Amino acid sequence: MEQSYPIKRIVDDEGFFVDASFDKQIDEQLVQELYYHMLRIRTFDRKAINLQRQGRLGTYAPFEGQEAAQVGSALALNANDWVFPTYRDHGATITFGKSMATTFLYWNGRVEGCKAPADRNVFPPAVPIATQLPHAAGAAWAEKKRGTPNAAIAYFGDGATSEGDFHEGLNFASVFKVPVVFFNQNNGYAISVPIEKQMNSATIAQKSVAYGIPGFRIDGNDCFAVYFTTKEAFDNARCGNGPTLIEAVTWRKGAHTTADDPSKYRPAQQGKDIVDPLTRLELFMKNYGYWNEEWIQATQEKTTREVEVAVEEMEKFPPPNVEDVFNHVYAEMPAQLAEQKEAYLAHLGRQ
């Protein structure tokens, strides 16, 4: 099966075309868009880790290493599509249009951080693994019934394929031929569990056969392979051809979250041979005449500034109302909870 699903690449580790037929579809605008967004979310990601270490942000799930998978897929969407992310896909949601300040708020435990921008359909990150797959199938079904050209994307990890919701989402979507793209980021691990202990099949892409839908296995660190494959899947979805399963093979460079220590379960050398997705795009830019030192410099300054402004915005946000923890659990507050609320407020000296 690994032979039936070889990893598709457009550009190799040295930044040279494997498939030069794509040359005609790649222009400066696309290259710069991919680079800008990948650098932007990397800057966000590294800043978030620093903020967490300084006690200015809660527990955070980093995505360094997965920038090409997240940006390449998000740039293939239309503004009216639906995005169903996990807790690791804020690179994709920021690229799609969720603000960085709102995303920081989410990682500070603020309910306001779950809010989608007015002009984008972005669900809050799904923490319960794979629950967003049936949601995405449902949203896509609704769009199909309404007769719109809109589609949905469900982001999920390798570990999510072991959940019942994976089957339910793919089965429903394929039976009803709904416009949804199941975008898997196979980053090798589900917390400390390596993929080979997670499943018995050689690839995730081959699971598409069971649902009678197209499946692609791509190099998730090749932003062009991700972008063009996701675009093709969306074109198909919009034409009424139903769902696609994409397995983007990538690598989580860092920890599962800031509360995790991967040195406890990952061999030190593992993943060291994988060329960083941004480095790969830089090599491509140098090889094919897209490298422009001035533009790179300006983009670095711009993204650094954007992240700084977002941090300021997050830190200026009014403090949370502690009563919210109690107020929004039940329509009518049970006596026991009312008692706990009263005791807590008294503890804070507020009663």
Ligand X SMILES: Cc1ncc(C[n+]2csc(CCOP(=O)(O)OP(=O)(O)O)c2C)c(N)n1
Contacting residues toward Mg ion, per CB under 5 A: 157-158, 187, 190
In the complex with ligand X, which residue's Cβ is closer, 156 or 234? 156
Token reading at 106: 């989410």
In the complex with ligand X, which residue's Cβ is closer, 187 or 208? 187
Name the binder of 91 from Mg ion, ligand X, none, CB < 5-8 A by kind: none
In the residue annotation, 288 being an active-site residue is answered as no
CB of 190 to Mg ion, least distance (A): 5
Could you say which of 37, 90, 217, 256 is catalytic?
256
Q: For residues 106 and 90, what is the distance between their CA atoms, to the nearest angstrom?
A: 10
Q: Which residue is nearest to ligand X (CB)?
A: 157
In the residue annotation, 167 being an active-site residue is answered as no
CB of 293 to ligand X, least distance (A): 35
Decide: helix, strand or coil at residue 5: coil
In the complex with ligand X, which residue's Cβ is closer, 88 or 144? 88
In the complex with ligand X, which residue's Cβ is closer, 113 or 125? 125
* Cβ-defined contacts of 103-110 (< 8 Å, 24+): 103/44, 103/310, 104/48, 104/51, 104/57, 104/310, 104/311, 104/313, 104/314, 105/314, 105/317, 107/48, 107/52, 107/57, 107/58, 107/59, 107/60, 108/57, 108/58, 108/314, 109/58, 109/320, 110/317, 110/320
Name the binder of 166 from ligand X, Mg ion, none, CB < 5-8 A by kind: none
For residue 65, the cross-strand partners are: none
Q: For residues 99 and 108, what is the distance between their CA atoms, to the nearest angstrom?
A: 14
In the complex with ligand X, which residue's Cβ is closer, 198 or 236? 198
Name the binder of 180 from ligand X, Mg ion, none, CB < 5-8 A by kind: none
CB of 133 to ligand X, least distance (A): 11
**How many other C-beta atoms can be found within 10 angstroms of the C-beta atom of residue 294?**
7
CB of 157 to ligand X, least distance (A): 2
Which residues are near ligand X by CB under 6 A? 88, 127-129, 157-160, 187, 189-191, 252, 256
CB of 201 to Mg ion, least distance (A): 15
Name the binder of 88 from Mg ion, ligand X, none, CB < 5-8 A by kind: ligand X
Could you say which of 265, 305, 328, 330 is catalytic?
265
Q: For residues 106 and 207, what is the distance between their CA atoms, to the nearest angstrom?
A: 33
Q: Give the DSSP per-residue string, 107-159.
A: HTT-GGGGPPPTT-EEPPPB-STTTHHHHHHHHHHHHHHHT-S--EEEEEESG
Q: Is the dihedral of CA 331, 333, 337, 343 positive or negative?
A: positive
Name the binder of 98 from ligand X, Mg ion, none, CB < 5-8 A by kind: none
For residue 197, CA distances in Å to 162, 165, 200, 202 come to: 11, 19, 8, 11
Could you say which of 90, 110, 252, 280 is catalytic?
252
Radius of gyration, CA atoms only, the chain: 21
CB of 348 to ligand X, least distance (A): 30
In the complex with ligand X, which residue's Cβ is closer, 45 or 143? 45
In the residue annotation, 211 being an active-site residue is answered as no
User: Which amino acids are annotated catalytic?
Assistant: 252, 256, 265
